[in-house]
Structure formats: structure tokens, C-alpha cells
Chain A
Amino acid sequence: MYKYIIRRILVFIPMLFALTIIVFGLAQLAPGDALSGKSLADPNVDPEIYEQQREALGLNDPIYVQYWNWISSAAQGDFGNSLIFNGRSVMELIEARFANTLYLGLFSLAITIIVAIPIGIYSARKPYSMLDYGATGFGFLGLAIPNFFFGLIAIYVFSINLGWFPSQGTLSSPGVSGFDAFTDRIHHMVLPGITLGLAGTATYMRYMRSEVLDVLGSDYIRTAKAKGMSERNVLYKHTLRNALIPIITLMGFEIGVLLSGAVITEQVFQYPGLGTLFLSSVMNRDFPVVMAIALILGILILIGNLIADILYSIVDPRIRYD
């Protein structure tokens, strides 16, 4: 097992290296650079100034020189400074947002699982019941409604009209601390969390339903029932264990998606996370930030897959790695 994990991690390294080259190459291929957008914003500034800054930042160097400069300092853990956020370090920019995104991602994953799995199981046990139809309908609706639209409706109803939940940001004021800050944070995450988890909930629910149905129809379940095992035991000991395997794979992939795919939700709720930072950095050609985020997301997706593989072996004893 450990050998397997170490081997997997060793394979990561060349993959990440390839990733940096591809992302860097793509970032450089895009026309314009971080300063070209700035110059149009304020015509009172002499464009010569931006030319001097380009020179100082090394943006006029050949690509391979720029790449080398970047990778040699990145290898030492220094991701440099943002080109857009005048002189602010990339790590500092990412740090704050990363925590936000992580909280939101985990929160929405929790909502997803708490809602989706019980409903999925229930609709598999009572297929074609009212609740099953309702859940199926909800599933299609959840997959079909675009995130931003659902987010706006949620804000309109639950925040502006009913005033139950805050609609923007992560905290109600910079002053709150301690336990209050924790509950305040949760309170702020409810709407974006549900919005972000909506499509996931629908997917998980459908998966769960079909998996459980599948397993319930198999021979060993019939055997278990035949030998007089209680309904409850059949469900929890035999059915769920087997039905959960594909869900775990799904979750492994989901980790990367949750961290990177929240751009629109983050925007609507002005929730300062990695997604919006990534998007604005790409738009502004702020490549030190783009590279750092791409690298982090790459690592997380690889780790997510690794965790999924490890969980596999726990849930399914037939699977052994060595």
C-alpha cells in the first residue's frame, strides 16, 4: 500500500512539470500582456512608463528565459509577485482565497451528500413512488438550472425578500471573531453552498438510486434476504457498501471540480475564492498567479484521485494495491 502511494506521488512530479510547461506556453501565446490592459484604462499615463515596467519585470525577455526564471524560483517555493495587484505576492493572494474556496467546497459537498444519499437510497427502495418521481424531477431541474440563475433566485428570495441569509461575502463585518465568526461564516455559506451543490446533488442522487437498485437486484442480496437477515441489515451491511464504490470515484474527481469550478457561483455571491481570482488573472494575463493556481489545482486533482483509489481498497476488500 505505502509503496503504491509513493509510486503514485513520484509519477506526479513529471506530470506537474509537464503541466507547468503547457500552462506557461498557453499563457504566453495569448496576445497582450499584463500591462497592455492597464494602459487603456488611464490615458493620462505616458505609455513609455509601461514600457519601462515591462523591461523591469522581464516581460520583454524570451519565453524560455521567463520560464526558467519562474520555475527556478517556484522550485524554491517563491511564486513571485502578481503583475496586476501591484507588487503583492502570489502566495499571499492565494492563501486567503484558498481557505474560502476550501470551506465552501467542503460545505457544499456535505450538503450534497447529506441530501443526495438518503434520497437516492429511499427512491431506490421505493421506486416509482411519489418521492421517487419528485426526486427524479428535482434531479433534472437541478441539472438543468444554470448556477448563476439559481444563485440569483436564491438571493432574491432568501436574502432580499425574506432576509434569512446574507447574499454577499463570507462574513458580515471584519470585526467578528471566535465562535461568532464560525456561525457567521456558515450563515454566509448557506446560499452559495446550496447553489454550488445543486448540480452535484442531482448527480449523486441519480447515481445512488441506480446503484442501489442494481445491487438490490443481485443474487447475494436475495441470498441474504432468504437467510432471514433483517431489511435494515441487508441495506446497511450489504447493499450500501457495494453501492458506494462509484460514488467514491465521483467524489475523488469532484474535489478538483469543487475548487476550480465555482467561478460563477463565487461571482454572484461575491465570495472571494480561487475561482474568481483564477478567472481575473487569466483575463489580465497575470501569469505568476495563473501558474501558481494551475499548479495547486493540478496537485489537488491528483491527490483527489489518489484518495479515491485508497478509499476504494477500504470499501472493497477485493481491491489490493501493491
Chain B
Amino acid sequence: MLKKKWLLFFVLMLSVGFVLAACNEDDSSKEKENKTQAEGGDDGASGEPQKGGTITGAMDTAPAGVFNPIFYEESYEANILDFTHESLVSQNKELEFEPHLAKEWEINEDQTEITLKLEEGVKWHDGEEFTADDVVFTYKAMSTPGYIEAGGIRSSEYAERLLGYEEFSKGETDEFEGVVAEDDYTVTFKFTEPNVTILKDVGFSIIPEHIFGEVPIDEMPEHPATLNPGEVIGTGPFKFTEMLEREQYVLEKHADYWKQEPYLDKIVWRVVDQSVMLGLLESEEIDFIADPSGVPAPDYETASGIGHVEIIEQPDFGYQLMGFKINHRKDADVEAGKIEPDNWVPNEDMSEQKVRQAMAYAIDREALVDNLLYGHGSVINAPIAQQFWAYDEGAATKYEFDPEKAKALLDEAGYKDTNDDGFRETPDGKEWVVNLNYPTGNKLREDSAPILEKFLEDVGINIDLRQPKEMTAYQEELEKDNSDWDLYLLGWSLGSGDPDPVGLWNATAPYNYSRWNNEESEKLLKEAVKTPEAFEQEYRAKKYSEWQSVFSEDLPALLLYAQNKIYAHNKRLNGINPMPYSYNNEPENWWVSE
């Protein structure tokens, strides 16, 4: 009896001890942390690269599981495919294209053809030789009728401009003329029109013909070589060999990698909840935190305080914006899914340029960056990623925080407080309420909405801060814009291939949710890709610089901030050299010191 009593007592004490232990452990771990910090002078990064070792990376969401470059969609899958598959060209830190699987190339006079010489002796993970036929096959697959219906989304980006794409993708011909293998190691891409983004277009990851050659396109997404570890075949420095679905993804070195044998034996991706990631980094259960989420800005201090952790910070490709619904579409157009700028109905007040500019002056974006992002971001004034040659800070209007100027602009536009309620009325004396819509899903953006409301109310604009909507519902209303929306919050993550903003800001672009229609902008965007002048990067840079000045003056959207990516890794890991667009760069050079 006594024994039992003690057992029960023990169980009880254990559960009480739980909570107490939580408090105690907190203190002791801090001490531990301080100690390692003090000792952590030597990071062991020096010395010769060593062979061997396993490292573990963390991402907060599991990949959907489609490990095929032509069918994957998410950055979580990219975290696997970046290691396993390669493209003909790659981009360097200045985002210029460099040889990769193709060692050299020649572009013809009018940029309709590019002939690339491939590296010889490149082996697929299963030992087969990589040849020009694989390149042809990859682009052919993306042009095949049924590719989109099977779930593929890359054709508009990479295949559409190829010669004969129209006919081939509609099934009118069996002959694919867009990409031709001249011999085993020479391949020519042919385009319908002179192509300004020719190097970007040839830079898609190559898939093996000897695996997928006989597979009908609609079966490819479910093919074992798309889904199963060990059967996914690429040319990259690591093979995808094992997985514990939704938990762990194991990459093993491809010893026959054409550049050099990778130093590391294994790279393991673990799916880890965001809230415990830093803890696991501290306890050395994981070695690095990288794309897509990185370390959240509020945790920067904690992460940099861990003695064995090194942090890399760089700007992200993308921005958050507060858009102005300058025009609305008519019901009929929305229903028919048509985007006809001529039919658009101007949105009262928001179509007033001075009002938009006044709002820009009223918002202290530096404060947003300092307080929301803890300084780990930047204010940008033009919607082109700042890493690009095309970004021109100087050309854009700055809109530094200036509430007086905002008030003056509103007065000038006729928006004055006529009934002394503290808020301005419209020029014809009616009550003026501006609605601000925003989606859930991005914590920082959600937090920014009430702050923006405050800034705008400070200059006398009555803001109706709407209930946030869940993203899918929000997107539908944002797109079907026969509503009463005035302001909307949204973020874009941009591609690193080419800076052309036409897909987001051209009048007829579906993603131009501001329904911005500016003649000068249309003209400049067209000119920027007009051949043959646009073959010169300088010419394009000049046009985009002019366009950025038009954009920032007419202001279809105020760009709030561009966030920084914060990566963290254990100092035992060496050779990490992230590109502006991806952390997973040249993993064959990564190595661990013991």
C-alpha cells in the first residue's frame, strides 16, 4: 500500500514539476548561452575543406511532394530540386547569366536563335550520360498538349516564345521546332520573335529523357520518378535518396558530379515548426535555417546571440504594397473575365493623383521598417527588385514622411474638413471615407494595417479598416473588382530571371489589381523590350529608369517595404555562399569542420 501511495505521489509531483522546471530551465539555458557566447571567439571556419559529414537544414512546411522541375510549384520543393537538378545557365550575384551545364553559347544577330555547347561527361544520377536530347525533351514536354491540364505552370515563362509553340501545344503538328539538338553536345533554341530575355528562357532545369521519354504528359506528375526518393533523377551535386514523408528529406552526394565530388555525404531537410526552429539550432539538432522563411526578424537578436551561429542577411526578391484601386471593372467584364481598360470606371477620389501622393507622404515607411521589421528591411520606391541592374533608386520620387506636405496636397486637391469633425470631406462637400482591405496569413502585413490607418487618419483621412479576410477569399474579391474597394494590401515575390515589371503593372495584366492605366507607362514598358535596341542592357535600364519615375509619380501603389532574408547556420558549416535569389548555391562546396 505504501509503495502505491508513493507511486501516485511521484506521478503528481512530476506533473507539478513540469511547470516549475519550465521556469528553472529558462534561467539555466540563458546562462549556458552566455557562456558559449563568451567562448565562441573561434568559429572554426578556417582551414581546408574536409570530406564527409551530414548536415541538417530546417524548413517550416513540408514540400507537397512533386519532385519534378516541370511540375513542382512551391519553394519547399525547390529546396530539394535546387540540389538535384540543374539548368544550362545560372545567375551570379549581379544576376548576370553564367555558363552552367552549357559551357558557352552564341546568339544570332536578331536574337531569335541561341546555340549552346553543353558540358561533356555530365552524368545523371543513374549513370546515364546527359546530352542535348535531354534539353530538347524538357522543353518539348513543357510545350506538349495537355501539359497545363496535367498541372504544369511553367510554359508561359519558358516555352511560349519558342518557334512553333502555338501549333505544337495545340496538337496541330507533331514536329517540335523550338529546340533542336545539333549533335549530342550542341543544342539550338529558336524563337518566333527576337527575344530580349533569351538567356532567362534557356535557363530551365533539365529533366532526363531516358526516364520520362515514353511517359505520357498526363501521367508524369504521378510517375514514380516524380514522386519517389531514389527514383528522382537529375544531374545535380546531390541525389534525393530517402524520405520520411512530411518529416525528413535526405539528399546524398552524387559522387560522379561533373564539377567535383561534393564534400558533404548527406544533407537532410527536416520539417520543423517555426516556433522551435531556433531552439533546435541552439541545441545543434539542426545546422541551418534557410529559404523560404528564414529566421523571423524579431528573432534576429536571439539567433545572433547563440555562440555557434552565424547569420547571413540579404534583401529578398519582393515587396509589400498598399495599392490604390484607381479603376474598377464593370460587372459584365468581371463576369466575362475580360480586362478592357477602355471599359473601366474610375474610382472616385482614388483616381486623384494628388490624393495618392498625399497618402504616400502621410505614411512613415522608415518607421514601419524599424518597428515591424526591426530594421531588417528597406524602403523602396519602385516595383523592381533592388538587386537588379534595372532598379534605379534615383529616378523615383522618394515620398519621405512629411505629414504637412500630405495635408497641403489634400487641401490642394480640394479635400478639406468643412464640418469640423476632424476628417476631410470630398471636394463637393460629402463625407469621405476610404476603405482599407487586407488579407490574413502574413503576420507583419496584418500588423501594418492598423498602423497605416493611424498614419492616414493623422492627416485627416477617415479610414474604414475592414475586417481582414483569409487569403483565398481576399484574392477573389481583389481580382473581381466590381466592388467598392479603395486601398488594398498585398505582397509580391518576384522572379530573379528578368526585371520586366510588365506582368504586374501593365494595364491589361491581370495582376494589375490597381487597374492602373497610364499611357506613358504602357509606352515605356513596350519600348523597354523593343528589339533590336533592347538587346543592349543599358538601353533597357534607361527605359526602366524612366518607367520607375512614371510609376512613382503616378503611384498606382505605395511600396511599403522590402523585407530582408535572414539565414542562420551553425559555424561548423563552411562554404555557404547564398545567391541573391537562393540559399542553395553550389552545395558541392559546402563542408563541415569537426
Contacts and interface: CB of A to CB of B under 8 A. Distances in A.
Given A85-B65, A268-B275, A285-B472, A45 B246 contact: no
A173 B150 CA distance: 33
B279 A160 contact: yes
Given A152-B275, A268-B275, A88 B65 contact: yes
Interface stretch (B4-12, B170-178, B392-400, B568-576): B4-12
A178 interface: no
Contacts of B270: 168-169
B92 interface: no
Contact of B503 (A43, A171, A268): A43
A153 interface: yes
Contacts of A43: 492-495, 503-504, 511
A49 interface: yes
A53 B148 contact: yes
A283 interface: yes
Contacts of A284: 472
A230 interface: no
Interface string B152-163: 011111000000
Interface residues of B, number: 73
Nearest to A83: B151
A302 interface: no
A58 B12 CA distance: 57
Contacts of A52: 148-149
Contacts of A71: none
A131 interface: yes
B501 to A, nearest CB: 10
A60 to B, nearest CB: 11
Contacts of B503: 43-44, 46
B245 interface: yes
A168 B475 contact: no
Contacts of B242: 174-175
Interface stretch (A114-122, A219-227, A249-257): A114-122
A246 B246 CA distance: 38
Nearest to B490: A40
A301 to B, nearest CB: 25
B15 A138 contact: yes
B10 to A, nearest CB: 11
Q: Is the interface of A mostly helix, strand, loop or mixed?
A: helix
Nearest to B248: A174
A301 B64 CA distance: 29
Contact of A32 (B244, B282, B473): B473
A275 to B, nearest CB: 13
A31 B243 CA distance: 35
A168 B472 contact: no
Contacts of A76: none
A118 B9 CA distance: 12
Interface stretch (B21-29, B349-357, B547-555, B581-589): B21-29
Contacts of B148: 49, 52-53, 56
A305 interface: no
A37 interface: yes
A296 to B, nearest CB: 18
B280 A272 contact: no
Contacts of A26: none
B66 A87 contact: yes
B262 interface: no
A189 to B, nearest CB: 13
A49 B473 contact: no
B401 interface: no
B160 to A, nearest CB: 8
26 contacts: A31-B476, A33-B472, A36-B476, A36-B479, A38-B153, A39-B475, A43-B494, A43-B503, A44-B157, A44-B497, A46-B503, A50-B153, A84-B64, A86-B72, A86-B73, A88-B222, A131-B5, A141-B19, A156-B276, A157-B21, A159-B276, A159-B279, A168-B271, A168-B276, A171-B248, A174-B244
Q: Which 10 A-B pairs have the closest CB atoms?
A: A87-B221, A32-B472, A46-B156, A56-B149, A272-B246, A169-B247, A31-B473, A174-B242, A160-B279, A174-B244
Given A43-B511, A157-B18, 16 more contacts: A37-B475, A43-B495, A47-B511, A49-B153, A49-B156, A53-B153, A87-B150, A160-B276, A168-B280, A169-B244, A170-B247, A174-B242, A174-B243, A268-B273, A272-B62, A272-B246
